[in-house]
């Protein structure tokens, strides 16, 4: 007798991870672009994240060992933080001392199902969750959808 196996795709995995962080923002959308086109941008954090991820002015990878890396992120708001990262096709997870950020993407026919997670890792952040979701969530998602919507 064997135990049944439950496989989670990367979007579902990010959803499960977001449930473990109180008050994080988690947004999902179907992007009207092929997975390969989406990941060509998102798989290049130094070139793809600035301008797409809110408040990221620059990201510089300082160490790399396979899919694990460290990066220095500078933000428009004055943020300056070192992040530990895991980056592989369809999955990006970044954590600093005070922030957590993640993206996941999976093929969905000719489109790409996409999820974005962001939050603070500080006590009392649970109360910020509704504000993040209501105010920041739609703004973030619009950036991604706009970036991957073909021009008419």
> How far apart are alpha carbons 120 and 137 in whole angstroms?
14
Is 99 within 8 Å of 117 (Cβ atoms)? no
pTM for the model: 0.85
**Structure confidence at residue 75 (pLDDT):** 87
Q: What average pLDDT values come out for the chain (152 residues) when binned by 10 residues? A: 84 94 87 95 91 85 96 89 96 93 95 91 64 70 86 70
Q: What is the CATH number of the domain that holds 86?
A: 3.30.530.20
Domain assignment present for residue 108? The answer is yes
Phi and psi at 135, nearest 5°, equal: -95, -55
State the residue range of the domain holding 27: 10-15+23-148
Task: Provide the terminal-to-terminal Cα distance of the chain, rounded to the nearest Å.
Answer: 55
Domain assignment present for residue 143? The answer is yes
Q: How many domains does the chain have?
A: 1
Domain assignment present for residue 2? The answer is no
Domain assignment present for residue 1? The answer is no
Own/partner contacts of 53-57, CB < 8 Å, gap of 24 or more, are: 53/101, 53/140, 54/136, 54/139, 54/140, 54/143, 55/79
Domain assignment present for residue 4? The answer is no
């Amino acid at each position: 007798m064997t135990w049944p196996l439950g496989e989670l795709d990367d979007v579902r995995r990010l959803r499960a991870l977001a449930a473990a962080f109180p008050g994080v923002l988690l947004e999902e959308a179907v992007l009207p672009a092929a997975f390969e086109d989406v990941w060509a941008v998102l798989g290049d954090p130094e070139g793809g994240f600035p301008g797409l991820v809110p408040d990221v002015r620059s990201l510089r990878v300082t160490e790399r060992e396979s899919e694990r890396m460290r990066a220095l992120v500078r933000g428009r708001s004055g943020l300056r933080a070192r992040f530990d990262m895991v980056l592989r096709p369809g999955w990006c997870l970044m954590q600093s001392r005070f922030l957590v950020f993640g993206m996941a993407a999976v093929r969905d026919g000719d489109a790409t199902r996409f999820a974005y997670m962001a939050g603070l890792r500080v006590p009392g952040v649970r109360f910020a969750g509704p504000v993040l979701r209501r105010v920041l969530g739609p703004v973030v998602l619009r950036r991604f959808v706009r970036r991957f919507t073909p021009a008419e």
